[in-house]
A and B are shown apart, each in its own frame.
Chain A
Amino acid sequence: MTDQSTKTEPGPDGGVPVRTGLSPRKKQQISRAVQYVVLVAAVVFLLMRIEWGKLAENFAKPEVAAETLPDLFTVALKNTIIYSVGGFFFAFLLGLLFALMRMSSVRPYRWIAIAYIEIFRGLPALLIFLLILFLPLALPGFEVPGGTYGQGILGLTIVGSAYMAETLRAGLQAVPKGQMEAARSLGMSHARAMTTIVIPQAVRIVIPPTTNQFVSLLKDSSLVLFLGVSGEYVELTKFGNDMASTFANATPILVVGVTYLLVTIPLGYLASRLEKRQARGR
């Protein structure tokens, strides 16, 4: 597609080179034509190979889709949102705590924060959920407060907090040093200056990346499946999985997928809008 093969030779008197062979424009036209041909061939092949009736029967059966209502929204989506909003909320608080510890002047605090962040950023989310599942074995008598919701939220909190800590630290460090100095010169204590001047600005800075982190937590909430939840606690993925088994049909999976996208695509769009607005300055 590039014009590496276009031979050029210096023109007479070393002026504009004289081209030999096809012009770059011609080459581009040919390359584009080839790409279209490949695309059409692939589409035709798929159209002929796929048994459309069977596919629709399995993935988009209206009767089965209808069966998912209203629980799809009133139970499954609601729970997905409870798990992910709860997880996000606590991940934010815990992340802020670790970000501040990471920047503390007390060295052991920095060590603890670094250890926490490195460990939980490096572990697969699923492993963390399994860990929570087996927690009662390790700590007999220990119970996560809030029951099933508590367990799911705890898992997502741990998954999200390490990333959140790093994002917030970047945000805190992006606030110019002069802000803290101006606040201190007005007689504010370090803690007061942090809470009224520095943290609010840092939070504004990290809104776009944390919106993306929320989307990522929303998807990770599907891991609640592995906690063995049932009944009123199921979230979207578990719900789709159960329904698909019940009807021996994949339609619920598709329906659930669309429901995720209903939330994640607008949020992703919002995040990039916020990011652009910030790039333009305030």
Chain B
Amino acid sequence: MTPVNHAVEIRDLHKHFGKLEVLKGIDFAVDPGQVVCVIGPSGSGKSTLLRCVNLLEQPTSGRVVLEGVELTDRDVDIDAARRRVGMVFQQFNLFPHMTALQNVMVAQRRVLKRGRAEAEKIARENLEKVGIADKCDAYPLQLSGGQQQRVAIARALAMNPALMLFDEPTSALDPELVGDVLTVMRKLAEEGMTMLVVTHEMAFARDVADRVVFMDGGVIVEDGPAAQVIGEPQHERTKSFLRRVLDPTHTDV
């Protein structure tokens, strides 16, 4: 039995898509209250790793243990386990046939079986927290990308997750809207939410993350405090990646 001291623990995780091996043995853990940012080049398996954590992808082998419950156990109640993990997607994935308020209420009602009044109260609190209390009755298509993403965050928070997963939450946003979403995420981090964030926003990673994990080619190349991994990277691959990200106009092709 694993002691319950990590929020999530990943051991020797492998994932194949057919012949393609996307994750080649990932080991790491996130402790309660920690914010861990995952960085790395496109195609390195960051999304796949995140999706394995809440089993949107079935790992080929290895273990994912969430609050002491092994999700990779074939007989686990996966729906119950997923309730403890919130996920925020690059493309928001709000439910377009529901208002912002309904988006935040639906899973509370259907999954947690909360009453209408309670669900609505919690939904309004969370929408207020992400700064869009005045857009409760708007449909997703009437909202800007930044507003949609904040509704999506509120939707996940309303389920009282123990862990929040973010997969490039600002990559689909117009540059001037990125800040609104990052501010919300920073606030969440300060409140002590456990977060695993895939991002290309190096400033966010440096300022907010307790740890930064650099992935390349399906393995973790470097894992350490933000200041170290971003400030003084040890590995050549990390250095060249950071050079390309931080100074994109001076890339040697």
**Which residues of A are at the interface with B, using a C-beta cutoff of 8 A?**
176, 178-179, 181-189, 192, 196-197, 200-201, 204, 281-282
Contacts and interface: CB of A to CB of B under 8 A. Distances in A.
B76 to A, nearest CB: 13
B89 interface: yes
A223 B94 CA distance: 45
B114 interface: no
A200 B85 CA distance: 25
Contact residues on B (Cβ < 8 Å of other chain), bracket: 20 to 34
Given A178-B89, A181-B56, A182-B89, A188 B97 contact: no
Contact of B96 (A188, A192, A196, A201): A201
Q: Which of B54, B86, B89, B95 is the most central at the interface, judged by chain A CB atoms within 10 Å of its CB? A: B95
Contact of B86 (A178, A185, A200, A282): A185
Interface string B89-115: 101011111000000001100111000
A182 B95 contact: yes
B89 A282 contact: no
Per DSSP, chain A at the interface is helix
Given A186-B159, A282-B139, 8 more contacts: A178-B89, A179-B93, A186-B156, A187-B112, A189-B79, A196-B106, A201-B95, A201-B97
Contacts, number: 65
Contact of B93 (A182, A187, A188, A204): A182
24 contacts: A178-B91, A179-B93, A179-B95, A182-B93, A184-B79, A185-B54, A185-B82, A185-B156, A186-B83, A186-B106, A186-B107, A186-B156, A187-B82, A187-B83, A187-B159, A188-B107, A189-B79, A192-B110, A197-B106, A200-B97, A201-B96, A201-B97, A204-B97, A282-B96
A189 B77 CA distance: 10
A197 B93 CA distance: 11
Contacts of A196: 106, 110
Given A179-B93, A196-B110, A282-B96, A185 B56 contact: yes
A184 B87 CA distance: 10
Contacts of A181: 56, 87, 89, 93
Contacts of B89: 178, 181-182
Contacts of A182: 87, 89, 93-95, 152
A155 B160 CA distance: 51
A282 B141 CA distance: 8
B107 A187 contact: yes
Most chain B CB within a 10 A radius of its CB, from A179, A182, A189, A196? A182
A186 B93 contact: no
Q: Tell which of A185, A192, A196 has the most Cβ of chain B within 10 Å.
A: A185
Nearest to A198: B95
Contacts of B54: 185
Interface string B53-96: 01010000000000000000000000110110111010101111
Contact of A187 (B95, B96, B111): B111
A179 B111 CA distance: 16
Nearest to A185: B87
Contacts of B91: 176, 178
A281 to B, nearest CB: 7
A159 B196 CA distance: 52
For the complex of A and B, list the 8 residue pairs with the smallest distance between their C-beta atoms, beginning with the closest. A187-B83, A186-B107, A182-B93, A185-B87, A178-B93, A187-B111, A187-B82, A189-B79
Contacts of A183: 95, 107
B101 to A, nearest CB: 15
Contacts of B93: 176, 178-179, 181-182
Contacts of B110: 188, 192, 196
A190 to B, nearest CB: 9
Nearest to A201: B97
Nearest to B81: A187
Contacts of A189: 79
B14 interface: no
B46 interface: no
B79 A188 contact: yes
